[in-house]
Structure 1
Amino acid sequence: MKKAFVFVGTCLVTLLGLLTACTQSGGTSQEGGYKTMTVKKENRLLTNSYSAVVKGRQSVEIRPQVSGTITDICVKEGAKVQKGQVLFVIDQVPYQAALQTAVANVKSAEAAVATARLTSDSKEELFKEKVVSDFDRQTARNSLLEAEASLAQAKAAETNARNDLSYTVVRSPVNGVAGMSSYRVGALVNSSITTPLLTVSDDEEIYVYFSLTENQILSLVRQYGSVEKALAGMPKVSLLLSDGTTYAHEGTVDAISGTIDTETGAISLRAVFPNPEGMLRNGSTATLVLPYTKNDVLVVPQEATFEIQDKVYVYKVNADGKAESAQVTVFPLNNGQEYIVESGLQEGDVIVAEGAGLIQENTQILSVHTEK
């Protein structure tokens, strides 16, 4: 019985020893390791998306130049219109009457000029014969000049009357598509109305406006050497419509604003898109997608970097297996997950692949996975 008790006690001691050993072994396996990667050259197609506003190549607000009531509307809302096409007619009766009055005034002034010229010529002859004084001759000359001035004023008034009459017929100054109008026949309008009669948008080509930051523009200018060269080097851009579909035609970035928005610090750019189907409309919104193809470049994940005072760093693993910070220069555009490194790393360098912001200088790195 005593031997049995000794045997059971020995087993219990042995079991406790095994449990202790297992616990110590598990603690060792939990010691931290860091994921690393070997930097290599790859090809990348980067795309950046920007909120954009769509504008017609020319959007013209049609406003009357004379006052009056609308007597005829000659265009359907949303219809295509041609340059010179009649859109509205404003009551012409008072302007026709004004023109007739102006024409009559011109004829009267012409008759007055003829009479004054006869009088002046007669005074000249009588002065030569010393029948009238120099005062009478000069008075006749002045009367002729006055009559000629009145004739010039009458002709100017006739021109204005003709113009006013022509303005009663409101025509489209451009080819395009008519917008909606809040005016109907009988509405009283004038040149100071706040709401235009109609808006005509020339949409054969569409302008799409978007913005880049000042730093992005500066980086592009440094890369290409000038604004003109940066524009020439811009790739074709695409457009995501409001329903999430991609517009069928690609566009070209053709202009960079010369001024900076002081409120946002952004610079506006313009892309031109063809619009043969008329799908794009003035005033709509879309998302512009700007692609960049970069070949044979060093690519690192963004989670492998950290920033200090707007400078980007990575941790390289040195020969001793320790973390060593290194500043890198990255391409200004990225896909939101990776950076293209332009300087600071070489192909074959080993870096900490994630959690770089949590590591300190000279941390011993124990790699749990290496990508090659």
Structure 2
Amino acid sequence: MKKFKIRQMRLITLIGCTVFGFASCKQTPNAAMQSSSYETMTVGTTDKEFSTSYSATIRGRQDIDIYPQVSGTIVSLCVTEGEVVRRGQLLFVIDQVPYRAALKTAEANVETARASLATAQLNYDSQRELYTQKVVSEFSLKTAENNFLTAKAQLAQAEAQEVNARNNLSYTEVKSPSDGVVGALPYRVGALVSSAMAQPLTTVSDNSTMYVYFSMTENQLLSLTRQYGSMDEALKNMPEVTLTLNDNSVYAEKGKIESISGVIDRQTGTVIARAVFPNESRLLHSGASGSVSIPSVYKDCIVIPQGAAVQMQDKYLVYKVVDGKAASTLVSVAPINNGREFVVMDGLKPGEEIVAKGAGLLREGMQIK
């Protein structure tokens, strides 16, 4: 009898514990829901600027490889690496002796051709006079005329050879084709050079202003075109850009995007853009690298934290607080952001209250504390 009572008491205790446990489990979600809270914000308008960076290469406005136009030995080197030169300044002198001799020969050939032409002229005039007096035949006249025309052509040929010889002599003095800075000088005095060389004598880089080239993706190009209405308007109205050098320092001068290629590369899916930067300090060098930052300015726009939005394909979901409950709404945002905030283009109005953080945990109609 005692054993039965003990078992009965244990069963009652077990049932009581089980009921108490179910009650506790049932109350836990309600308690958790009551204690949850979310950070909210009231939407307003402000001005915002985002920057997009692109890897870039720096080139001189004009990088000209200097090749000799005649063959010969370098007898004089007139510049040093890094020297600033002007257009027409002498850079190299190639051995002129054979070219001076060739010019003298050409000049002598011209004089000989002139004398031959004068003789042919006299003979032709004489034969023509005799033909009118019917002293000589027409054949003799025609022969004299042909000799005269041949002598005339030989003079023209000799004069052309003289011009060519004079040009070759002038080519022995290699001059700078533009203002700029001299690059490396791989050939020194005594080196044999020719126009068929694979490597240039040097490179003259016009770096008074510098071209900075960078690539934009097709989507970035479309976004830019939509933002300004057309590519021409974009080039006119885009703000000045900044250049960050390879050591992470920011170049003091601002640049301007001058052109964007109208053809998308099929292999990379990008277009080439070119910005122009002044280089009075000559801090920028052709061949260097860096990155270009393009600012995107939005006036009187709505800015929200990225934690306030949940991405749904090409749209974003934001939860408004309406009568203390979460009400979802779709918004469109600007394609450019800083990784922390979105600029809302459509879907929200100033004065509306939204959940500013943890939107991914919300559900429609949830109580917002």
Structures share fold, TM-score greater than 0.5: yes
Matched, 1:108 2:112: yes
Distance (Å, rounded) in 2 between the aligned partners of 1:358 and 1:267: 40
Once the two structures are TM-superposed, the CA of residue 349 in structure 1 deviates from its matched residue by 3.8
Map of 2:283 onto structure 1: 279
Once the two structures are TM-superposed, the CA of residue 35 in structure 1 deviates from its matched residue by 4.9
Match of 1:314 among 308, 313, 317: 317
Q: Judging changes above 3 Å, is the alpha-carbon distance between structure 1 residues 73 and 244 closer, same or farther for their aligned structure 2 residues?
A: same
Match of 1:41 among 28, 40, 45: 45
Distance (Å, rounded) in 1 between the aligned partners of 2:359 and 2:147: 97
- Give the 3-state SS of the residue equivalent to 1:136 in structure 2: helix
Q: Judging changes above 3 Å, is the alpha-carbon distance between structure 1 residues 299 and 96 closer, same or farther for their aligned structure 2 residues?
A: same
Once the two structures are TM-superposed, the CA of residue 76 in structure 1 deviates from its matched residue by 0.6
Q: Judging changes above 3 Å, is the alpha-carbon distance between structure 1 residues 34 and 201 closer, same or farther for their aligned structure 2 residues?
A: same
Q: Judging changes above 3 Å, is the alpha-carbon distance between structure 1 residues 233 and 85 closer, same or farther for their aligned structure 2 residues?
A: same
Distance (Å, rounded) in 2 between the aligned partners of 1:292 and 1:324: 29
Matched, 1:208 2:209: no
- What is the alpha-carbon root mean square deviation over aligned residues? 2.6
User: What pairs up with 1:330-349 in 2 under 5 angstroms?
Assistant: 330-349=333-352
Once the two structures are TM-superposed, the CA of residue 271 in structure 1 deviates from its matched residue by 1.3
Once the two structures are TM-superposed, the CA of residue 316 in structure 1 deviates from its matched residue by 3.3
Matched, 1:66 2:70: yes
Which runs of no fewer than 5 residues in structure 2 stay unpaired? 1-12
Q: How many aligned positions are there?
A: 350
Distance (Å, rounded) in 2 between the aligned partners of 1:27 and 1:223: 48
Q: Judging changes above 3 Å, is the alpha-carbon distance between structure 1 residues 35 and 141 closer, same or farther for their aligned structure 2 residues?
A: same
Match of 2:91 among 87, 103, 108: 87
- Give the 3-state SS of the residue equivalent to 1:260 in structure 2: coil
Matched, 1:192 2:196: yes
Q: Structure 1 length as normaliser, TM-score?
A: 0.86
Which runs of no fewer than 5 residues in structure 1 stay unpaired? 1-11
- Give the 3-state SS of the residue equivalent to 2:265 in structure 1: coil
Map of 1:299 onto structure 2: 303
Q: Structure 2 length as normaliser, TM-score?
A: 0.86
| Matched-pair contact (CA < 8 Å) for 1:34–1:366 | no
Once the two structures are TM-superposed, the CA of residue 170 in structure 1 deviates from its matched residue by 0.5
- Give the 3-state SS of the residue equivalent to 1:367 in structure 2: coil
Map of 1:223 onto structure 2: 227
Q: Judging changes above 3 Å, is the alpha-carbon distance between structure 1 residues 141 and 29 closer, same or farther for their aligned structure 2 residues?
A: farther
Match of 1:288 among 282, 289, 292: 292
| Matched-pair contact (CA < 8 Å) for 1:33–1:365 | no
Map of 1:367 onto structure 2: 368
Once the two structures are TM-superposed, the CA of residue 288 in structure 1 deviates from its matched residue by 1.1
Distance (Å, rounded) in 2 between the aligned partners of 1:54 and 1:280: 8
| Matched-pair contact (CA < 8 Å) for 1:86–1:172 | yes
Distance (Å, rounded) in 1 between the aligned partners of 2:307 and 2:120: 96
Map of 2:5 onto structure 1: none
Instruction: For 1:53, give the aligned amino acid.
Output: T
Distance (Å, rounded) in 2 between the aligned partners of 1:239 and 1:222: 25
Identity %: 49
Once the two structures are TM-superposed, the CA of residue 337 in structure 1 deviates from its matched residue by 2.1
Instruction: For 1:340, give the aligned amino acid.
Output: V
Distance (Å, rounded) in 1 between the aligned partners of 2:196 and 2:359: 64
Match of 1:123 among 105, 114, 127: 127
User: What pairs up with 1:172-183 in 2 under 5 angstroms?
Assistant: 172-183=176-187
Distance (Å, rounded) in 2 between the aligned partners of 1:26 and 1:79: 81
Distance (Å, rounded) in 2 between the aligned partners of 1:167 and 1:98: 13
| Matched-pair contact (CA < 8 Å) for 1:34–1:365 | no
Distance (Å, rounded) in 1 between the aligned partners of 2:107 and 2:31: 107
- Give the 3-state SS of the residue equivalent to 2:148 in structure 1: helix
Once the two structures are TM-superposed, the CA of residue 180 in structure 1 deviates from its matched residue by 1.0
Distance (Å, rounded) in 2 between the aligned partners of 1:99 and 1:307: 79
Distance (Å, rounded) in 2 between the aligned partners of 1:113 and 1:264: 66
Once the two structures are TM-superposed, the CA of residue 143 in structure 1 deviates from its matched residue by 1.0
